[in-house]
Amino acid sequence: MKPFLKWAGNKYAIMDRIKAILPDGNRLIEPFSGSAAVFLNTDFNDAILSDINPDLINMYQYLKKDGQKFIGYCSTFFVKETNNADSYYHFRKIFNGTGDTRLRAALFLYFNRHGYNGLCRYNNKGEFNVPFGKYTKPYFPAEEMLQFHSKVQSAELVQQDFMKTMEAARPGDVIYCDPPYVPLTETANFTGYSSGGFGIREQETLAAMAKELSRKGINVVISNHDTHFTQTAYESARIVSFQVRRFISCKGDTRGQANEMLALFGLDGETMVG
């Protein structure tokens, strides 16, 4: 099932790899839910989808509750008259000032499909600041949203940081973590997905919590770049390393291979390369 959001680091393309290492369990917990690709493509009885980004969870909550009615409301922003820079920046100004949560939810989807590269980024004041994307005809994902609405009825949606979400886990749960990645280079760091960022200290905390939870019978899988830092931080985990093809610059014709890993805390095993 394809996510309806464009999302940096979307895991839909590597679902086969994730499902091969993800253990069975009673409940799936995603502390960094993002586009929810793993939730959408697995069959746990229950799930907790959590994210620190309030706009993401707010949109998911409206879609879960209102379904087709909310989809119809969102569609009103996907018309020819709104696909221009003036409209985009007008809506962005409204979004950053309004307290209307339903409007914010619809505009969040509008920005996702009309903004540059589908980025989700905020400035130090917590204001959404992604520029206009200049797409000829942005796709409105009505069918994918309806599928999400049906699937998410079995999930709990929570807006909070990853630590609180992971602390709520109990034996038999499976946690899948897709945090903002450790940068491959010093100039590649990007932590603006939510106001507050996600740095090395948070990466270390995540690894320590995964190790501790695994001792309590809770399996944890973490995605990240394959670097010296992550190899060291995840040294007690079973690691699967592989390469993915992705954009490596703002130029659309520039692609390259990036080294990624999946780290499983909870089962003994050797580091594997695939």
Of the listed ranges 16-20, 107-111, 128-132, 186-190, the one predicted with least confidence: 186-190
Does residue 182 surpass a pLDDT of 50?
A: yes
For the chain, what percent of residues have pLDDT higher than 90? 84
* 95: Cα within 13 Å, side-chain hemisphere: 23
- Alpha-carbon span 92 to 111, nearest angstrom: 8
Determine the pLDDT at residue 258: 83
Determine the pLDDT at residue 165: 98
Which CATH superfamily groups domain 66-143? Adenine-specific Methyltransferase, Domain 2 (1.10.1020.10)
Query: pLDDT digits over 200-250, tens only?
Result: 999 999 999 999 999 999 999 999 999 999 999 999 999 999 998 765 444
| Beta bridge partner(s), residue 272 | 240
Tokens representing 82? 């709104």
Determine the pLDDT at residue 270: 42
Is residue 80 within 8 A of residue 155, CB to CB? The reply is: no
Determine the pLDDT at residue 193: 42
pTM equals: 0.90
| CATH architecture of residue range(s) 11-52+160-273 | 3-Layer(aba) Sandwich (3.40)
What does the domain layout of the chain look like in residue ranges?
11-52+160-273, 66-143
Query: pLDDT digits over 55-72, tens only?
Result: 999 999 999 999 999 999
Three-class SS of residue 250?
A: coil
Query: pLDDT digits over 93-131, tens only?
Result: 999 999 999 999 999 999 999 999 999 999 999 999 999
- Alpha-carbon span 58 to 53, nearest angstrom: 9
Residue 187 φ then ψ, to 5°: -90, -5
